[in-house]
Amino acid sequence: MFSASFLYTQKMLTLTLGLPTDAVGNTIGLTGVYDDNMENDFRYLNGTGTIPISSSERRIFEWAKTCEYG
C-alpha cells in the first residue's frame, strides 16, 4: 500500500511516503533510494554519483534541480 503526507511549516515542505516492501531498491530521485542507506539518497539520475548527505542546503538545492523534468 502506498501513502503520502505533506506538511508545510516555516517555509519548509516535508513529504513523507509510505511504500510497499517490493519498492525496496526500486526508487531514485527526490525521494531517495529506498534501501535503508542514507548515504546514497542524493544520487544523480544520470548515474554519475551522489552528493554527501551532509551537503549544504545550497548544494542539495542544486542537486534537486537536476531532477527537474522537461
Do 7 and 13 contact (CB within 8 A), yes or no?
A: yes
Helical (H) or strand (E) element with 9? strand 3-9
Tens-place pLDDT, residues 3-51: 989 898 988 888 888 888 888 888 888 878 888 898 988 999 888 899 9
Q: Would you state the pLDDT for residue 70?
A: 65
CA dist 54 → 20, 29, 60 (Å) = 28, 17, 9
pTM of the model: 0.66
Which cell numbers hold the place of 30?
527526490
